[in-house]
Structure 1
């Protein structure tokens, strides 16, 4: 049994998943107006430019929101587990798992730091834990 579901990779998101394999958290920056965006998209929602570049995030951020799913139970997760919406220092948000913390201690605004975890040989995912 797999330990995580594999993501669907498209030409628009391939750079992101390749970055994770290299232990780099990449986000898009519009080549037209400089706006950062996540999730990856082919067109800038602000200026409609199709030109963009990938920049590396510092991996630092804060918890914007979080949930602890209880149902449905997936055999590849240890319960309870924490799904967090992380606001990166660069200003964009992304969804990830929060680890290495008692669920009762999780608070919005808490500083966190990315780390990378390998699953099933080739799959590398971003995970977050308390900073410091």
Structure 2
């Protein structure tokens, strides 16, 4: 069934669980009991070994910026911001942004920590520089 352009399908299954946790301020990833590996983005089966034994876990949250770029916008459109790929210690990579520093100050190798921010009533994962690592 195709929905009209103005309607969006409500997330179902594991994605709905992930988003619900974020909306409640909790960042969760999945862990596979069969191969002992972390999984992100949420899935029904493990992409590493094919097992269906995935459970939700709270990651440590510490990570390292793998890649970053600055998106340029006019000040009246909110100004510049960065987009970063961050590798979590658990071995998964997320696309997000680093907050709390100018976009140009985000660098490859920067130590960061995940936190859940609220935007338009929904939670999203953002990163902040780790103070203890700088």
TM-score, length-scaled by structure 2: 0.79
Alignment partner, residue 94 of structure 2: 94
Distance in 1 between residues matched to 2:51 and 2:32, nearest whole Å: 7
1:67 counterpart (54, 59, 69): 69
Counterparts of 2:70 and 2:97, CA distance in 1? 10
Does 2:122 correspond to 1:114?
no
Residues 1:52 and 2:54 aligned together: yes
- How far apart in 1 are the matches of 2:28 and 2:60? 9
The secondary structure found in structure 2 opposite 1:68 is strand
Q: More helix by proportion, 1 or 2? A: 2
Structure 2 CA distance, aligned partners of 1:59 and 1:9?
A: 24
The count of corresponding residues between Structure 1 and Structure 2 is 123
Provide the C-alpha distance between the structure 1 equivalents of 2:118 and 2:48, rounded to a whole number of angstroms. 35
Rg larger for: 2
Note the alpha carbon deviations across 1:12-41, whole angstroms, 9 max, x for none: 212221221232211111132222111111
User: Which stretch shifts more, 54-63 or 77-86?
Assistant: 77-86
Q: Deviations over 1:46-76 (max 9, x none)?
A: 22112210110111111011122348x8x8x
Is the 2:27–2:116 contact (alpha carbons within 8 Å) kept by the matching residues of 1?
A: no
- Structure 1: gaps spanning 5 or more residues: 1-5
Q: How many angstroms does 1:10 deviate by?
A: 2.9
Q: Which residue of 2 aligns with 1:3?
A: none
For residue 103 of structure 1, report the CA deviation from its aligned partner. 2.2
Q: TM-score, normalised by structure 1?
A: 0.80
* 2:35 alignment partner in structure 1: 33
